[in-house]
Each structure stands twice: as structure tokens, then as C-alpha cells.
């Protein structure tokens, strides 16, 4: 608006420095609460997905065990032919052989996207401990059940490489869950290839 050739400027009242500081503080607190909840929810989801995938892998191993009449697949390596079981008893520790089991790759990973680790006792269903077993480095395959051995161990790892979830199955429990009262012949009980070392 002009009056006598002079422009009249209208000034609007703004926020004071104190008001802006308080607003930023409130926004920061709300953002912090939101991020904390988001991280906690993400961890919970990852943990639940890991547990679900491990259960799926166990069922796939049980199905394989029944279809192959008492055999379990060797673990897979993370470099050569990923997902296919190794052909050597030397590889008794590795990742889940998802292709051999006939499952999709995402089921062989934890909730944070890392491979599920799979360990197999190559002397599964064989009687007695031997020096060969100790040389293979699997003398920790002792079960809490008397006269029993651990059949398989599944592990998941965090992004820092630490174990998050560990599931182990004893032979008796594994057989009871997946084979029931089915009896295999002596020849079928002798599972495994000739021993080689790490």
C-alpha cells in the first residue's frame, strides 16, 4: 500500500529463539522414542523369523531323513555350489543345504539375513564313540540323554558373528519326532562316507 509515495511494509510476528528450541527438543524426544521402538520391533521380528525358519529347516531335515530311509544331508559350503550338500564327511559343519532339502534360500537364513549354520554328526545312528570321531573334532556331540548322541545342531548368528539361537537334536529325539517306530535295516543304519579330516 502506498501513501505519499512511500511503501508501507507489514511485519508479521515470528517465533522467538526459546520457542524454536523447545519445539526442536520435543521433536527430538519423540523421534528418540520412535527409533527405540522401531529398533526393538525390528529385533523382535528378526528373532521370530529366525525361530520360524529354524523350525522349517528341522521339518525339511525330518522329511529328507524319512525319504532317504535314515540318512541326513551333509552341510553345504558358502563358496562352492551353495545350497547343495557336500559330498564329503570332512564337511560336517557349514550352512543349511537348502537345495538338497528342496527349500528356498530365504528359509536357510536368519531374520537378519545371515546363513543358518548346520552341523551334522556323521556317526548319526552308529554305535559307540571312536578315535575317528574325536579326530573329526565332533567329540562335543554328547547328548544330555543317557546312551544318546547329538544328531544335528542348528545355529543363527547376529551381525556381530555371535550365536543368537542354538537348537540341538539328540538322535533319540530326532528319530522319535520324524521316524516314529519305523525300523531301518542294518545296512541303512550305516550312514556316512569314509572318514577324512579337517
Cα end-to-end span (Å), the chain: 91
pLDDT bin (cut points 50, 70, 90) of residue 53 is: very high
Name the residue among 123, 61, 140 with its Cα closest to residue 97.
Answer: 61
Please answer whether residues 134 and 121 qualify as being in contact, where contact means their C-beta atoms are separated by less than 8 angstroms.
Answer: no
What does the pLDDT look like over 144-196, one tens digit per residue? Answer: 666 677 788 888 888 777 778 888 888 888 888 887 655 444 333 333 333 32
More confident of the two residues 51 and 17: 51
Cell of 19: 520457542
**Which residue would you say has higher pLDDT here, 139 or 58?**
58
pLDDT digits (tens, 9 = 90+) for 78-131: 777 888 888 776 667 889 999 999 999 999 999 888 999 998 887 776 655 555
Do 132 and 195 contact (CB within 8 A), yes or no?
yes
The larger pLDDT score, comparing residue 26 to residue 126, is at: 26
pLDDT of residue 186: 35
Largest CA distance in the chain: 114
pLDDT at 4: 59
Q: Is 3 left (phi over 0), alpha (psi -120 to 50) or beta?
A: beta
Domain ranges of the chain: 16-189
* Best CA proximity match to 182, nearest among 72, 59, 67, 58: 67
pTM of the model: 0.68
Question: What is the pLDDT at residue 16?
Answer: 77
pLDDT at 143: 65
The count of other CB atoms within 10 Å of the CB of residue 112 is: 17
Amino acid at each position: 500500500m502506498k501513501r505519499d509515495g512511500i511503501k508501507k511494509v507489514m511485519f508479521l510476528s515470528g517465533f522467538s529463539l526459546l520457542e524454536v528450541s523447545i519445539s526442536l527438543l520435543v521433536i527430538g524426544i519423540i523421534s528418540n522414542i520412535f527409533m527405540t521402538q522401531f529398533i526393538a520391533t525390528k529385533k523382535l521380528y528378526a528373532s521370530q523369523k529366525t525361530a520360524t525358519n529354524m523350525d522349517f529347516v528341522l521339518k525339511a531335515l525330518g522329511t529328507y531323513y524319512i525319504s532317504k530311509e535314515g540318512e541326513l544331508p551333509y552341510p553345504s559350503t558358502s563358496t562352492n555350489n551353495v545350497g547343495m550338500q557336500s559330498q564329503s564327511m570332512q564337511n560336517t559343519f557349514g550352512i543349511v543345504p537348502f537345495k538338497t532339502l528342496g527349500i528356498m534360500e530365504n528359509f536357510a537364513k536368519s531374520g537378519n539375513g545371515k546363513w543358518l549354520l548346520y552341523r551334522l554328526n556323521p556317526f548319526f545312528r552308529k554305535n559307540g564313540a571312536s578315535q575317528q570321531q574325536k579326530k573329526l573334532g565332533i567329540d562335543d556331540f554328547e547328548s544330555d540323554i543317557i546312551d544318546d548322541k547329538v544328531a544335528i545342531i542348528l545355529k543363527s548368528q547376529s551381525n556381530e558373528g555371535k550365536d543368537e539361537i542354538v537348537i540341538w537334536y539328540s538322535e533319540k529325539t530326532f528319530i522319535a519326532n520324524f521316524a516314529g517306530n519305523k525300523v531301518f535295516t542294518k545296512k541303512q543304519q550305516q550312514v556316512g562316507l569314509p572318514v577324512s579330516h579337517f
